Structure 1
Amino acid sequence: MTVCCVLLTVLSFKFCTPCEHSYLLDLLACVVVFSGGEAAHTAVKRFTGLYTGPYFDPTTTTNITTQLGTHAYLPCKVKQLGNKSVSWIRKRDAHILTVDRFTFIADDRFQAFLVENTDTWTLQVKYVQARDAGEYECQVSTEPKMSHFITLNVVVPKIEILGESDIFVKTGSTVQLKCVITQSLEEPAYIFWYHDGNRVLKYEENAIDIKIEREATQTTVSTLVIYNTRSEDSGNYTCSPSNLDSASVLLHVLNGEHPAAMQRGKNSASPIPAWSHLSMGLGLAACTPPRFAIAVALSLAALSELLAC
């Protein structure tokens, strides 16, 4: 190959008057002789489809999923940016969030920064809220403008304490309150339990126990165990994970009392049925003979007691 090129070049300088033109032609002939045209095709292909200005990396993601309360990072990889600017725009209200490193929204949860050596302009959304879900536009200040869109999906975990909202137990029994958190991409940093507003601590052995388990990919369970319950254990119990809503139940510790009787005893404003009828009968005394009024009152009271039974 090299010999061919050298010979053709020497001949072109020796026999051609316009040496520059002959030299270029001979070089082209050398390439064709050597590769049968392949090298020429490759040379042309090298200059096909090249970007002369900014362009988005085609491998950049178009979907980001994050959990409520965490931080979200939306990447926008721009090659050959040059002196152009990169802006982030929230599509639902066309609000300009950032331009390069400058923030143009009062919400300081939004910030853009360049990840060095990666050509990636990243939009950070701190403490993501449900309303942050939607489409975001990464725009480059070319003419016309270039845009890359990323959809932010916000997963809202669900939290509940299993069972009824009111729990009735007998004194001395063992109670388990199970708080289940589902659709949680990340395990909570902590889960606190509160009793009537005061944090429950494992301060007494064989009295209270708190267990936390990651049962599945997106499920975390916290169990509060109360041993040998006493009347003072009654009250509101709240399960409160980090960066999430809380869930509550009411625990009623009964001292040999039936739940229905306890609920009836709470309502002190309710009149006693027998006495209501007695007062009604006594009211008749104003317009009837006293002996008749008393008889009616006693009869109504007796009938009321029989119906209550």
Structure 2
Amino acid sequence: MMLMNNINLFLFAVFSGGEAAHAVKRFTGLYTGPYFDPTTTTNITTQLGTHAYLPCKVKQLGNKSVSWIRKRDAHILTVDRYTFIADDRFQAFLVESTDTWTLQVKYVQARDAGQYECQVSTEPKMSHFITLNVVVPKIEILGESDIFVKMGSAVQLKCVITQSLEEPAYIFWYHDGERVLKYDKNAIDIKLDQEGPDTTVSTLIIFHTNPEDSGNYTCSPSNLDSASVLLHVLNGEHPAAMQRGKNSASPIPGWSHLSIGLGLAACTSPRFAVTIALTLAIISEVLAC
């Protein structure tokens, strides 16, 4: 009987000690309520068109709520798992293993850049701010917006994407709205090269151009804006003649005769010089008709 009592006392002491230790750990530490994990980031950088994830690590949250607020317009985006904005790109979820409330922003737009507040419903309120930076890649097709080549010659169209945090999933080329496919390797080819950590180059090669190859060519990467050029395949024409418009410089009728008249003004009376110049100009126009 005495042995059994001693065992019971021992078990009571162990469990009581465990509970006491647990109580000390919970209530007498540096933080007695919710607090933000000091390792939580304050800056997130993402690329236009991708998904952004803004983490907010809250320890010892208890029964308090976590809200996400967009600072530029003070709009409440989410409260716990509930979304309070019509834009369904925004959503909050909890990763319980890390006590992290994460705000997800799908298909990030340039206007999403700015500061976001993670707020805990304590009294007074607790806030942690995260700045979302949106990188907008640049895309261009090298050269002029109008490209002129002789029929039968080869042409290379180079589409260069820079300031990109990740390589595009694909880059498609379109000719007058129809996707360019390299079925015939002897006629056309498309190459993709990674030049440096943030530069991707797609090259469209037409080996032997013909008039049907003329038109609009568009380089269209995944989740990015596109770039276009106009290709002109010449069959004996001169590029300068094709580019001349209504505003092109042209000789003024009778200008040479007016110049003669102005020259005479240096050695005769102005009225006589002007009369001669006008007479020569009229005669020239009549003969031209």
Structure 1 length-normalised TM: 0.72
Q: Which amino acid in structure 2 is aligned with residue 92 of structure 1?
A: R
Which of 98, 108, 116 is the aligned partner of 1:118? Answer: 98
What SS does the aligned partner of 1:243 have? coil
Aligned residue in 2 for 1:162: 142
Which of 202, 215, 233 is the aligned partner of 1:253? Answer: 233
Q: Please show how residues 191-206 of structure 1 align to structure 2 within 5 Å.
A: 191-206=171-186
1:238 aligned onto 2:218 = yes
What SS does the aligned partner of 1:216 have? coil
Shift of 1:260: 1.4
Q: Which amino acid in structure 2 is aligned with residue 198 of structure 1?
A: E
Which of 140, 157, 161 is the aligned partner of 1:177? Answer: 157
Which of 12, 29, 32 is the aligned partner of 1:52? Answer: 32
Shift of 1:226: 0.5
Shift of 1:299: 2.3
Shift of 1:61: 0.3
CA distance, structure 1, for counterparts of residue 218 and residue 67 of structure 2: 44
Q: Which amino acid in structure 2 is aligned with residue 133 of structure 1?
A: A
1:68 aligned onto 2:68 = no
CA distance, structure 1, for counterparts of residue 28 and residue 81 of structure 2: 34
Q: Which amino acid in structure 2 is aligned with residue 134 of structure 1?
A: G
Aligned residue in 2 for 1:190: 170
- Residue-by-residue CA offset, 1:9-60 (whole Å, 9 max, x unaligned): xxxxxxxxxxxxxxxxxxxxxxxxxxxxxxxxxxxxx997521100000000
Aligned residue in 1 for 2:264: none
Aligned residue in 2 for 1:43: none
Deviates more, 1:252-261 or 1:77-86: 252-261
Q: Which amino acid in structure 2 is aligned with residue 146 of structure 1?
A: M
Extract unaligned runs of 5+ from structure 2. 1-25, 255-281
CA distance, structure 2, for counterparts of residue 65 and residue 148 of structure 1: 17
Aligned residue in 2 for 1:212: 192
CA distance, structure 2, for counterparts of residue 86 and residue 67 of structure 1: 26
CA distance, structure 1, for counterparts of residue 54 and residue 205 of structure 2: 42
Shift of 1:203: 1.3
Q: Which amino acid in structure 1 is aligned with residue 43 of structure 2?
A: N
Aligned-CA RMSD value: 2.7
Which of 63, 67, 84 is the aligned partner of 1:104? Answer: 84
Q: Please show how residues 277-292 of structure 1 align to structure 2 within 5 Å.
A: none
1:141 aligned onto 2:121 = yes
Extract unaligned runs of 5+ from structure 1. 1-45, 278-293, 302-309
Shift of 1:214: 1.1
What SS does the aligned partner of 2:86 have? coil
What SS does the aligned partner of 1:117 have? helix
- Residue-by-residue CA offset, 1:153-212 (whole Å, 9 max, x unaligned): 000000000001111100111100000000000111111101111111101121110011
CA distance, structure 1, for counterparts of residue 205 and residue 231 of structure 2: 12
Q: Which amino acid in structure 1 is aligned with residue 123 of structure 2?
A: E
CA distance, structure 1, for counterparts of residue 231 and residue 129 of structure 2: 50
1:299 aligned onto 2:287 = yes
Q: Which has the larger radius of gyration?
A: 1
Q: Which amino acid in structure 2 is aligned with residue 228 of structure 1?
A: H
CA distance, structure 2, for counterparts of residue 192 and residue 59 of structure 1: 42
What SS does the aligned partner of 2:107 have? coil
